[in-house]
Structure 1
Amino acid sequence: MSVLPPARPAATAAQPAPALKPAGGRRFAAGRTILALILREMSTRYGRTPGGYIWSIFEPLAAILFLSVGFSLVMRSPSLGTSFLLFYATGYMPFHLYQSLAGSIAAAIRFSRPLLQYPAVTWLDSVIARFLLNSLTGILVTILLLAGIIAVVDAHTTLNMPPIIEALGMAMLLGAGVGTVNCAISGLFPIWEVIWSILTRPLFIASGIFFLYDTMPPLAQDVLWYNPLIHIVGRMRSGFYPTYTASYVEPIFVLSVSLILLAVGLLLLGRYHRDILNL
């Protein structure tokens, strides 16, 4: 008697579908890309300069010292407290944090243009990397400078941390909003970078670094109130001077302006980033 071989499975049997890669893998890949961009910028910006990160501390310190010495020659005491160094530092540092973020994010695509030709690197990765690096650097420099000034001048300051954290957060968000909009506009129209630098030069004077908003004439207050940096500087100083309330500060106004600019900037970059890369 012959034994029949076992029947083979039908040729038309459906093959199992290949397993899909989990979304977490893509998220981890984006994280690695952002970290690589941060390390690349750190080595490019600070690794090739003698002193490296030390210059990021000396630059704002030199500006604060210059302001303090200059105004101490014509004024007996600052508008708040007894230390010119602390008064100008509490105004200059949030402004410097905003300015560094806005400027670095505005150049994100131009700086990472060669890497953006690779599919694994996106324009959003470049923006996020610059935001994280400059935010962490700015906060670290602010902490070191203000702590050093308080220790040296013995200003007997009672710190109120929530307003300080709020001011730094608003400066970071405003810098991100302005930076993304300028990244898109200057990418499409390179002349905008020059125009913007000319238009915003008065901000150094009009942001409350040298004076208190409360001491300005009513007409100047009506105009300056619409400068978000006035609110940020006022909130920052209220965290160092317990007697200063800065009642004019409206965080909702600053957050609204920042979020609107950030949304517009991200929409423009999402729509035109390929055109910017091809220019």
Structure 2
Amino acid sequence: MAAPAPPGLGHSFYEQLMVQRRVIGALLMREMLTRYGRRNIGFLWLFAEPMMVTVVIAALWTARGLHQMSDIPIVAFVIIGYSGIQLWRNMSRRCIDAIEPNRALLRHRPVKMLDIYLARMLLEVAGTTTSFALLCVLFLIFSNQISPPEDILKVVFAWSLFAWFAMGMSLTLGALSELTTLVTKFWPPLIYILYPLSGAMFLVDALPHGFKEIVLYIPLVHANEMLRDGFFGSHFVAHYDLSYLVSWCLGLSITGLGLSYLTVEHRLS
């Protein structure tokens, strides 16, 4: 029996909301089965894969003795940096050219292009967030290489902004890829340029004065700095502007939604 529409809302609007929720849920299940299947550990690869990559990077950094260069826990530093990288990198890759393999689904009236993007983005957020949280808990319990976050609320808020930024950027890139093939050609190399500039591998406070001002124009740097400030802010001086990061998140979201609308108009024309 369907739940009654909340008071003050039109019955048709509430029904459409419930339909879209079921559509996104079905697309999420379809995406998991298509990507991971039912054999071996199945959908557990959703967070097992990013966990393994992050652990390997942390082991390499520790083996090179980088943990002796600062009193900042190197394992926590790597988990934060590479979890963030995997969030925006994997999400953007999944959204670019996401419509073509799912074109047949658009014949069903309830399914919209935005639903396909949302399903893929939410799946990446769920997988990377689970990986990030599990790694923090496991290293906290079984080793002394990571300490509890100094401000857990700031960590949660910063990670939420990180996810919001990644979703806005991925939605924009996904819609652009339907309008031009240049996105498919230029975004992969740009990812490798953003790796060292995203703030995942350095602290802004350790940079030379002139370069410090330049990297702070990159919104990903603000997200990384805020996330680290929540974990071990007493060990370094964090440099981030919350209003600047939120402005980028909001701007990318609006741009992505606008481009998605243009893409639909382009397909109908």
Please confirm whether the aligned pair reaches a TM-score higher than 0.5, indicating the same fold.
Answer: yes
Aligned mates of 1:182, 1:277 — CA distance in 2: 20
Q: Label 1:24 to 1:156 Cα distance change in 2 as closer, same or farther (>3 A).
A: closer
Q: Label 1:246 to 1:56 Cα distance change in 2 as closer, same or farther (>3 A).
A: farther
Q: How many Å apart are 1:48 and its aligned residue? A: 5.3
Give the aligned residue type for 2:32.
M
Please tell me the root mean square deviation across aligned C-alpha atoms, in Å.
2.5
Conserved? CA contact 1:83–1:153, under 8 Å: no
1:120 equivalent in structure 2:
110
Give the aligned residue type for 1:232.
A
Q: Label 1:23 to 1:244 Cα distance change in 2 as closer, same or farther (>3 A).
A: same
Q: What aligned pairs does 1:98-117 form with structure 2 within 5 A after superposition?
A: 98-117=88-107
Instruction: For structure 1, list consecutive stretches of 5 or more residues without a partner in the other structure.
Output: 1-19
1:250 equivalent in structure 2:
241
Q: Secondary structure at the match of 1:208?
A: coil
Normalised to the residue count of structure 1, the TM-score between the two structures is 0.82
Higher helix share: 2
Aligned mates of 1:252, 1:102 — CA distance in 2: 23
Q: Label 1:181 to 1:22 Cα distance change in 2 as closer, same or farther (>3 A).
A: closer
Q: How many Å apart are 1:271 and its aligned residue? A: 1.9
Does 2:70 match 1:60?
no
Q: Label 1:110 to 1:122 Cα distance change in 2 as closer, same or farther (>3 A).
A: same
The C-alpha deviation readout for 1:133-174, integer Å capped at 9, x for no partner, is: 222222112111111122222246232212211221111111
Indicate which of 24, 27, 32 corresponds to 2:17. Answer: 27
Q: How many Å apart are 1:80 and its aligned residue? A: 5.0
Q: Label 1:22 to 1:191 Cα distance change in 2 as closer, same or farther (>3 A).
A: closer
- Pick which of 172-181 and 267-276 moved more: 267-276
Q: How many Å apart are 1:216 and its aligned residue? A: 1.0
Does 2:218 match 1:217?
no
Indicate which of 179, 197, 202 corresponds to 2:170. Answer: 179
Conserved? CA contact 2:66–2:74, under 8 Å: no
Indicate which of 182, 190, 204 corresponds to 1:191. Answer: 182
Identity, in percent, stands at 24
Aligned mates of 1:169, 1:33 — CA distance in 2: 24
Give the aligned residue type for 1:189.
T
Number of aligned residues: 259
Q: How many Å apart are 1:253 and its aligned residue? A: 0.9
Q: Secondary structure at the match of 1:53?
A: helix
The C-alpha deviation readout for 1:191-221, integer Å capped at 9, x for no partner, is: 3212011123122112222221110111221
Q: Label 1:237 to 1:93 Cα distance change in 2 as closer, same or farther (>3 A).
A: same
Aligned mates of 2:75, 2:213 — CA distance in 1: 28
Q: Label 1:168 to 1:80 Cα distance change in 2 as closer, same or farther (>3 A).
A: farther
Q: Label 1:134 to 1:77 Cα distance change in 2 as closer, same or farther (>3 A).
A: closer
Indicate which of 158, 180, 190 corresponds to 2:148. Answer: 158
Aligned mates of 1:250, 1:125 — CA distance in 2: 32
Aligned mates of 1:119, 1:156 — CA distance in 2: 49
Q: Secondary structure at the match of 1:211?
A: coil
Conserved? CA contact 2:219–2:244, under 8 Å: yes
Aligned mates of 1:175, 1:276 — CA distance in 2: 26
Aligned mates of 2:69, 2:201 — CA distance in 1: 9
Aligned mates of 1:96, 1:197 — CA distance in 2: 14
Instruction: For structure 2, list consecutive stretches of 5 or more residues without a partner in the other structure.
Output: 1-9
Give the aligned residue type for 1:30.
Q
Q: What aligned pairs does 1:1-12 form with structure 2 within 5 A after superposition?
A: none
Does 2:134 match 1:144?
yes
Give the aligned residue type for 1:175.
A
Q: How many Å apart are 1:226 and its aligned residue? A: 1.2
Does 2:225 match 1:234?
yes
Aligned mates of 2:146, 2:98 — CA distance in 1: 41
Aligned mates of 2:68, 2:109 — CA distance in 1: 54
- Pick which of 163-172 and 132-141 moved more: 132-141
Indicate which of 62, 66, 71 corresponds to 2:61. Answer: 71
- Pick which of 76-85 and 266-275 moved more: 76-85
Aligned mates of 2:268, 2:134 — CA distance in 1: 38
Give the aligned residue type for 2:157.
E
Give the aligned residue type for 2:206.
T
Q: Which of 1 and 2 has greater Rg?
A: 1
Q: Secondary structure at the match of 2:264?
A: helix
